[in-house]
Every structure is written in structure tokens, then in C-alpha cells.
């Protein structure tokens, strides 16, 4: 059921009363510069000709959610002054692993966060979620390791949404590597059997990501207001900014379906959709942003793109892109890992250009990411190789008697990938923050 816009605005304004230390002086009636009603000035401008204008009601909903943080997780993060950020992380991981009863004198803010995540939405069908996780294990184990860096680069193409990453120290190669691997870890671990159940690894990862984003919000709002101008950027890391990462797979699927003239998901597609929607729900996305039809998904994602003013600042965006491309991702410097990193880095450039820059290699060159002939040569070998592996796995999964073996194999492969990505902390220590964007760049 859609939440009325009036109720959404009440929820946004309620942040002042719920968390005055963070939001007490914020004027929520003010529209930040980042928001635009002119699609020609928005992030959607480069591909607006492919889609109709998103519905006005959806654009208004996105505009409102631009000013919403994560009230429940923000309240827990605001306890940093009392407990310190390490203790907050410890209590949250214990509650996720063993239950709230394992946390002596658990603060009510922690109880509220865990209970909110454990509350099942009315639309949830966990059997579909489990099937969606199973179906996603194949692309996450075969395709994603080659694509994750390129997809991560897309989060840096707009100065209004990229600034938190610059402020939190992600411009260094070490930090960039950690953030890419943590992102890969989150999306990979959620596909494991039972991962999104309470006490599951994916459930815990979602809780940690929520806390990390709230830590960023708290530290920026409390300690870096000289850099963060709410009248320009709005609320740091608003909930609506998680939509691209959480829904990009079902957005591309829905767009393809509409191109084919299809408006109904197949059973497998429905399972993948419900898996992505529930993962987003655990991350704290408002339910009325989690559409369940192909047209609704395309419209809400485009409504967000159409609402964000286009703006690429080389000092922030360009530096983030270049640092992420230059960083070394594998866990060690073995010959095999060095070769793989070099090949994957070249594919990342092509993913950035083809998927997120509309194929414009000139734009990529201007931001310091030139696409070279060798990149295309490598792609002509690797992309068919990846596609062939996907096809072989899919064929094997369809053979009676082999499917169970394949599922165990893919699950083991996921575990090996998680070991490769390393331990994900999902934290944001304010001591690593930079006092200004220029200093970070």
C-alpha cells in the first residue's frame, strides 16, 4: 500500500523531534540545489529520449525522500557519543548473531533497529526470496567478480551524491579497495542459503550497512557542517540514494521486458524481484519505493535520476573514479591475481563507458579514464568466456540429478569469493574523515 505524500512529509519533518542533535536545525521545507524539475538538467538527460517522463507523483515522492535519512538506524548511530563507534558495532553484530538477549542492557535504539528489521512486510514471500537468492548465486559467482568495480564507479558520477564518499576518505587507494570489496561482499553474501533470515549473514550485513550509512550521516551532520551544505546537497546518504545499487538488476530486467512488450514477470523473474526488494527492505528503503511491476520499477528509478541535478566535479567525482580504477583489489600479489586485476580493471573501464556514460568514450577520457584498443581486444575474449560459463552452469542446473551438485558447487564458490574479498567491517570511523573535499582530493 502506498504511503500518502502527506504522511511521508510528516515522517521527514518528524526527524527534528526524534533526533534533534542531527536534524534540529534543518529546514525540511527547503528544496536543496541537488533537486531539479528540469529533466534536461538532470542525470537522466543523456537517455531521456528512451523513456517517457516519469509520473509526477513519483517525482514528488522522490523529492520528498531526498530529505529522509534512516530514523531508526540514525537513532542508534547517535549513541556514538555515549558508547563509541566500536562498541556500537560490537553490540549490533552480537544482536544479529545471537539475538538481543545476548546483549546485556541493550539500548532501546538497538532493540528498535533489530525489531524493525525482523518485522516481515505484508507482501513478503520468503519462499520466493530463497529462490531468488538461489538464482542470483550464479551471476554473483561468475559475472559479478568481473563487473563490480565498473558498477561501483557509477556511484561517483554525480557530485551531489558522491561527496559523502570523498569526505569519508575513499579517495585513497587503500580505502577505495576496501569499499569496493565491502560492496562486493554485501551483495555476494546475501545470496547464500538462509542469508536473509534473522541470524543470517546477509541480515547482519544489511544491519551493518545501515549503521555505516547512519554513522556517515551522524558524523557529517554533527562534525562537518562547514563542508556539507544542506541547502545544496540535502541530507547525506538519503534512503532514496540506495535505490540504484539495490534495484539496478531488476531495473535492467524490467527495461528489457518492456522493450520486448512483456508486462508480467516469469516465476524466476518474480523470485529475483522479490529477493532484491526484500534485500532493499532490510537496508531500510521505504516500502513505497519498492515497486513490484516492470513499469513501476522503471518509473521510480527514472524518477530518481530525473530529480538529481547533473553535475560532475573533477575534484570530487574524477578523483573517486581514478582512485577506484587504480586500486588493487585481490588479497595478495600472486602472479595470477596481478593478471586478473589488470584484466578486470580494463573491463571496468568498458562497463563504465557502455553502461553508465552512454558509450561516450570522450567523456571517459576527460575524467582521466581513457578507453584503449587493448580494452576492446580483452573484452572480445573475456565477455564471451563469461557468457559461455554462465550458459554451461545454467544448462547443468537444468539436468535432473545434477542440479543439487551444481547448487553445492556454486555455494562453495560464493564462500571462496567471500574469502577473496576479505572481512567486511561496514564501518565509518570519523577519525578517517577529511576536513574538506579539496584536502581529500
Q: What percent of the chain has pLDDT over 90?
A: 72
Residue 423 or residue 159, greater confidence: 159
Res 433: pLDDT: 47
Res 348: pLDDT: 93
Residue 167 or residue 31, greater confidence: 31
* Strand, coil or helix: 35: strand
Stretch 51-64: mean pLDDT, rounded? 92
Per-residue pLDDT band at 439 (split at 50, 70, 90): very low
**Which tens digit of pLDDT belongs to each residue from 380-408?**
999 999 999 999 999 998 898 898 999 99
Per-residue pLDDT band at 440 (split at 50, 70, 90): very low
Res 441: pLDDT: 33
**Which tens digit of pLDDT belongs to each residue from 138-169?**
999 999 999 999 988 888 899 999 888 777 76
Residue 47 has pLDDT above 90, yes or no: no
Cα distances from 399 to residues 67, 271, 405, 412, in angstroms, run 50, 20, 10, 20
Length of the chain: 441
Residue 229 or residue 355, greater confidence: 229
Res 357: pLDDT: 84
* Exposure string for 22-58, b = 16+ CB within 10 A, e = fewer: bbeebebeeebebbbeebeebbbbbebeebeebeeeb
Residue 234 or residue 165, greater confidence: 234
| Paired strand residues for 308 | 35
Q: What is the per-residue DSSP string for 232-257? A: HH-SSS-GGGGHHHHHHHHHHHHHHH
Residue 204 has pLDDT above 90, yes or no: yes
Res 222: pLDDT: 82
Res 369: pLDDT: 86
State residue 309 phi and psi, 5-degree precision: -65, 135
Stretch 124-147: mean pLDDT, rounded? 96
Residue 181 has pLDDT above 60, yes or no: yes
Residue 339 has pLDDT above 50, yes or no: yes
Per-residue pLDDT band at 262 (split at 50, 70, 90): very high
Quick check: pTM over 0.75? yes
The span from the CA of 364 to the CA of 321, in Å, is: 10
Say if residues 258 and 297 touch (Cβ distance below 8 Å): no
Q: Name the grid cell of 95.
A: 544482536
Averaged pLDDT score across all residues of the chain: 90
Which residue in the block uniquely carries the three cell numbers 542469508?
A: 195
Q: Name the grid cell of 430.
A: 570519523
Res 438: pLDDT: 39
DSSP code, position 30: S
**Which tens digit of pLDDT belongs to each residue from 95-109?**
999 999 999 999 999
* Exposure string for 131-149, b = 16+ CB within 10 A, e = fewer: bbbbbbbbbbbbebbbbbb
Amino acid at each position: 500500500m502506498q504511503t500518502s505524500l502527506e504522511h511521508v512529509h510528516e515522517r521527514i519533518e518528524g526527524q527534528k523531534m526524534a533526533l534533534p542533535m542531527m536534524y534540529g536545525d534543518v529546514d525540511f521545507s527547503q528544496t536543496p540545489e541537488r533537486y531539479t524539475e528540469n529533466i534536461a538538467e538532470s542525470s537522466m538527460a543523456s537517455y531521456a529520449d528512451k523513456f517517457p517522463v516519469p509520473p509526477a507523483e513519483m517525482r514528488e515522492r522522490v523529492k520528498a525522500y531526498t530529505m529522509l535519512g534512516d530514523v531508526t538506524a540514525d537513532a542508534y548511530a547517535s549513541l556514538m557519543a555515549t558508547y563509541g563507534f566500536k562498541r556500537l558495532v560490537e553490540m549490533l553484530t552480537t544482536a544479529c548473531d545471537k539475538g538481543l538477549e545476548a546483549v546485556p542492557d541493550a539500548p532501546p535504539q538497538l532493540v528498535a533497529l533489530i525489531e524493525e528489521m525482523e518485522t516481515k512486510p505484508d507482501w513478503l514471500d520468503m519462499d520466493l526470496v530463497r529462490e531468488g537468492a538461489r538464482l542470483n548465486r550464479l551471476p554473483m559467482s561468475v559475472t559479478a567478480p568481473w563487473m563490480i568495480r565498473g558498477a561501483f564507479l557509477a556511484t561517483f558520477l554525480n557530485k551531489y551524491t558522491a561527496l559523502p564518499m570523498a569526505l569519508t576518505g575513499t579517495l585513497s587507494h587503500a580505502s577505495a579497495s576496501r569499499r569496493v570489496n565491502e560492496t562486493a561482499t554485501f551483495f555476494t553474501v546475501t545470496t547464500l542459503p538462509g542469508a536473509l533470515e534473522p541470524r543470517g549473514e546477509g541480515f547482519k550485513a544489511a544491519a551493518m550497512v545501515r549503521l555505516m550509512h547512519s554513522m556517515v550521516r551522524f558524523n557529517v551532520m554533527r562534525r562537518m557542517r562547514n563542508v556539507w551544505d544542506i541547502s545544496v546537497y540535502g541530507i547525506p546518504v538519503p534512503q532514496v540514494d540506495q535505490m540504484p545499487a539495490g534495484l539496478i538488476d531488476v531495473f535492467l530486467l524490467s527495461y528489457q521486458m518492456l522493450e520486448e512488450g512483456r508486462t508480467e514477470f516469469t516465476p524466476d523473474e518474480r523470485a529475483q524481484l522479490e529477493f532484491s526488494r526484500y534485500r532493499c527492505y532490510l537496508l531500510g528503503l521505504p516500502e513505497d519505493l519498492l515497486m513490484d511491476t516492470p513499469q513501476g520499477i522503471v518509473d521510480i528509478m527514472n524518477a530518481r535520476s530525473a530529480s538529481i541535478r547533473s553535475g560532475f566535479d573533477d575534484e570530487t567525482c574524477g578523483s573517486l573514479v581514478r582512485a577506484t580504477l587504480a586500486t588493487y583489489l585481490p588479497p595478495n600479489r600472486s602472479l595470477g591475481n596481478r593478471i586478473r586485476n589488470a584484466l578486470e580493471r580494463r573491463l571496468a573501464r568498458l562497463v563504465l563507458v557502455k553502461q553508465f556514460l552512454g558509450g561516450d568514450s570522450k567523456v571517459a577520457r576527460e575524467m582521466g579514464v581513457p578507453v584503449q584498443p587493448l580494452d576492446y581486444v580483452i573484452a572480445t575474449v573475456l565477455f564471451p568466456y563469461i557468457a559461455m560459463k554462465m550458459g554451461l552452469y545454467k544448462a547443468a542446473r537444468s539436468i535432473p540429478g545434477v542440479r543439487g551438485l551444481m547448487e553445492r558447487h556454486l555455494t562453495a564458490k560464493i564462500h571462496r569469493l567471500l574469502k577473496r574479498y576479505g572481512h567486511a567491517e561496514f564501518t565509518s570511523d570519523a577519525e578517517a574523515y577529511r576536513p574538506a573535499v579539496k584536502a581529500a582530493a
